[in-house]
Amino acid sequence: MKQENRYNSYVGYFKKVYGQRLQKVVVDGGFTCPNRDGSISTGGCTYCDNAAFHPGYSTPNIPIKVQIDEGIKFHRVRYRNAERFLAYFQPYSNTYAPLERLKVLYEEALSHPDVAGIVIGTRPDCVDEEKLDYLARLAEDHIVIVEYGIESCYDRTLERINRGHTFSQARKALEMTAERGLRQGAHFIFGLPGESVQDMIDSALIINTLPLHSVKFHQLQIVRGTAMEKEFEQKREDFVTFSLEEYIDFFVSFLERLRPDIYIERFAGEVPPRFLNTIPWGLIRNVELVRLLEKRLEELDTWQGKALE
C-alpha cells in the first residue's frame, strides 16, 4: 500500500523523530584505509579520490572542534534554520585505528555544544566486537550512526574495483552492528564495471535481506586521475552509463523493489565538476534530482516497495 510519501526520505526521518533537520558537518580524523596502507592493498578503490567529496573546511591538521565550527559556519549560509548538527567522520575508514584513538576523536566531536551525534563512515572489515560495544555505549546518550561503504552486492565487482572485502564480510558487519541496536546505513554505487542494469535491479532484493536503517545510492562518476578513469577509457563497453532520464526511470524500477521501511538518504551523487572526466548530466544539483524523481513517481503512480506487494 502506498505510504503518505512515495519513498522514505532520510531528511523526513530526522524531522519526524527530532522535529528538525540535523545537518551533517564533515570532519577529518586523519584516517587511512587498509587497501591503501598495504594491510590489504596499496592502490585503494579504483574509483576513489577522497578530495572529490572533501569540503575545504575539513582537514586533518585542524582540531576536530575547529573543523566543526568552520563546518557549521559554512552550512548556516545554506541552511539558515539549522540548529543541531551531526559530526560526520567521512574521509577514508573512520574506525581504522586503535580504540583509544577513536575514543579521543569521537568524544571531542560529541563535546561540541551544537553537535547532537556522530556519523561514522567506514568499511565492513574495519569494525570488531570491542569497537561496536563502545559505540553502543555512546549511543545510550547520543545519536550514533555507522555508515558502511559496501558499493556492490557482487563479489566479482568488489574484486574488480579493489575493495578488498567481500559481500559476506559486509553482511557480517551489518549483523554485528544491528545486534547492538545501532543505527546503520550503507553506500552503494550504480554503474560499476561488469554490472548490467538487471544486476543492479536485482541487488534491491539482496539489500532487502540486510538489517539496514538507511541507504545512500550514487551513480558512478568517473573521477580524473583514478584507475577507474583508465579502465573506462579502455573498456567502455563494460560500463552501463545513464542519461539523466534513464537514471530516473532506472531508480524508479529499483525503488519499487526496495523494502519500504529503508530510508533513502541519497539516490544520486554530486562531485565538483573540476574532478570529473565527463559531466553527462550537466551541473544539476541534488534538490533538482529529488524533484525529478518525485515527479516521475507521481506520473507512474508508483512508490517504494510497490513491486513487493
The domains of the chain are located at 10-308
pLDDT tens digits, one per residue of 121-169: 999 999 999 999 999 999 999 999 999 999 999 999 999 999 999 999 9
pLDDT tens digits, one per residue of 254-279: 999 999 999 999 999 876 656 665 66
Residue among 222, 193, 188 nearest 203 (CA): 188
Mean pLDDT computed over every residue of the chain: 91
Taking residues 200-211, report their average pLDDT.
98
CB 122 within 8 A of CB 148: yes
Instruction: Read off the pLDDT band of 76 (50, 70, 90).
Output: confident
| pLDDT, position 294 | 96
In the CATH scheme, what is the code of domain 10-308? 3.20.20
- Choice between 67 and 270, residue whose per-residue pLDDT is larger: 67
Query: What pTM, to 2 d.p., does this model score?
Result: 0.92
Taking residues 34-51, report their average pLDDT.
86
